[in-house]
Structure 1
Amino acid sequence: MNNPEEKKYIQATKSEDSSTRIEALYTLNELEYSEIAPLLLHLLSTDPDKDVRAEAAFLLRSLGHQSSLLPTVGPPLLAALTDGDEKVRNNAAETLGFLQYEVATGPLQNLLKADPFWFVRSSAAEALGRLGDPGSIPALLHASSDSELEVQRSAIQALGQFLHDPKIAPFVTSALLDEKKDPLIKAELSSLSYRLGHQSHLYALLALLSETNDYEFMSNVLMILSDLVEKSSLFDLTTDQEGIHSTLQDILHKEPSLHSDIERITQMLPSYFDIS
């Protein structure tokens, strides 16, 4: 039986005001309302307001620990990939990836190829990486040349889930030789190449950091380096950590405001370096 507080917010999901409906959904989710899944699915499928549908698609990812709900939750989310609103499609794509709904692989590939909004294509690429189906590799390779930089990044990051596939190493080698590639894409590719065993490409990544004074670029490349170091259990960073540390010290002198990002990376290195 619903408690009085739950009843209040269940009723609020029927309000004529869309913002009230959204607020009620978030509150019921925080209250761990036992019937939140059917309510979210109902609003995702029927609510006339695009923002309500989008938030319903977003909140469904909180059910990720309840794998038994996937057969019920998955199909409406798949249907939402064709919603007329781009934010609904985006959130549905992200949630399908979080929920590991393997049936979504084909529809997400189609979304990656054809959606007119770059952020939807980017989310589709990320979701395909999470799903980990090697059948997505051709679509991700194609997306690595997308007209939008962020879609390229998402596709290349997703390809990092398939390093053992024979198509990946030749792609990375060829792409790194492309002089037209954006430096940030070069950084992503250098990270993949290092994980593939090409030692020198770590230093190409570090050189990109050393040669720039652009704050946003440094911040983005530090995120790539952080992801690389975080995955270092898959390979040996021991012989390269001095070079990483030296570069991080240089960046710290150039841009002290990046201290917390740099410290997080150094703390993950096999031998901790104190940068304080």
Structure 2
Amino acid sequence: MSHSNIESLLEDCRSGDPYRQAPAIIKLRKLEAYKAVPTLVELLASPEEDIRMLAVEALGWLGDEEIETVGPALVKMLADSEDLVRSDAVDALATLDYTTAIEPIKSLLRSDSDWVVRASAAEALGDLAEVGDPEVLAELELALDDPIEPVRAYSACAIGLLGTQEILPKLEVYLSSEESLATKAEILVARYRLGVRDDLTKLLKLLEDADEHLVGIILNILRDLAERKVPLTLALDAPQIRQILTAIAQSFPIHRNYAERVIAQLKEVELQFTTK
């Protein structure tokens, strides 16, 4: 798109009309128009929730070149009055790898009134914090007692990414008391990441007995396992997982394409580790 067209979109953003601003923000993000960042930062003060949300999301993708301005501006949005704006701000800060936001995000995990925000906070901490960070791990462990299942699930996932073997006994206690199969699956994968290889067998047993909904959740978990901080043992265990997923693809046609994509990812993991 030409320079003049981008300028036109920026004018739409400055118009004060949300019906012009919303499509303009979306187009600027798709165009990767980094010169729009100052204007997008200004839109964080919009009285319209939807505009603030769109601006936050766009800054998460475009703000890395002006992080000293964008980072603090997004941190302020963690106190926005609207739940979804706060949640999107957490996601944007994680996308930008803005580690300065760890402390306020920990606070959201501990005390935000909205479970979506707390779940986003748990997920973001798994991306932002350093492995073994005792304060972050303590907050995530507390969140395993959250009354809302997705918050517990995301917290378990983050513990798997950040934890050390010292936390394994605690995870075993949570595993025995957890009623949600989805969160049990996340705890099993967390323990597998941390060296308990036998827990993969328990996860695959859950998958074999799962209904359509749980199959989708476990496919997400396995995809993540093959994408982020991949444990060395996954290359060895991939053939067993692929065998189960092949059967799942036949039993649940609605999940066939997704299962086949995960199978392809696992093959890549095998190839990556066996060629080293």
Same fold (TM > 0.5): yes
Match of 1:140 in 2: 140
Match of 1:274 in 2: none
Shift of 1:231: 5.4
- Give the alignment's TM-score, normalised by structure 1: 0.87
Counterpart CA distance in 1 for 2:198 and 2:120 is 31
Match of 2:21 in 1: 21
| Contact 1:132/1:161 (8 A) holds in 2 | no
Counterpart CA distance in 2 for 1:33 and 1:89 is 24
- Give the alignment's TM-score, normalised by structure 2: 0.87
Give the residue type in structure 1 aligned to 2:125.
Answer: L
Match of 1:73 in 2: 70
- 1:100 equivalent to 2:64? Answer no
Match of 1:196 in 2: 194
- 1:123 equivalent to 2:108? Answer no
Q: Higher Cα Rg: structure 1 or 2?
A: 1
Give the residue type in structure 2 aligned to 1:176.
Answer: L
Quick check: 221-230 or 18-27, which moved more?
Answer: 221-230
Specify which structure has the higher proportion of helix. 2
Match of 1:206 in 2: 204
Deviation per residue, 1:35-59 (Å, 9 max, x gap): 3111111110x21111111111111
Query: Percent of aligned positions with the same letter in both sequences?
Result: 31
Mapping for residues 218-233 of structure 1, pairs under 5 Å: 218-230=215-227, 233=230
Counterpart CA distance in 1 for 2:241 and 2:84 is 39
Shift of 1:102: 1.5
82, 86, 92: which is aligned to 1:85?
82
Give the residue type in structure 1 aligned to 2:109.
Answer: L
Unmatched segments (≥5 aa) in structure 1: 272-276
Mapping for residues 1-276 of structure 1, pairs under 5 Å: 3-44=3-44, 46-63=45-62, 65-66=64-65, 69-133=66-130, 134=133, 135-164=135-164, 166=166, 168-178=167-177, 180-212=178-210, 214-230=211-227, 233-237=230-234, 239-267=236-264, 268-269=266-267, 270=270
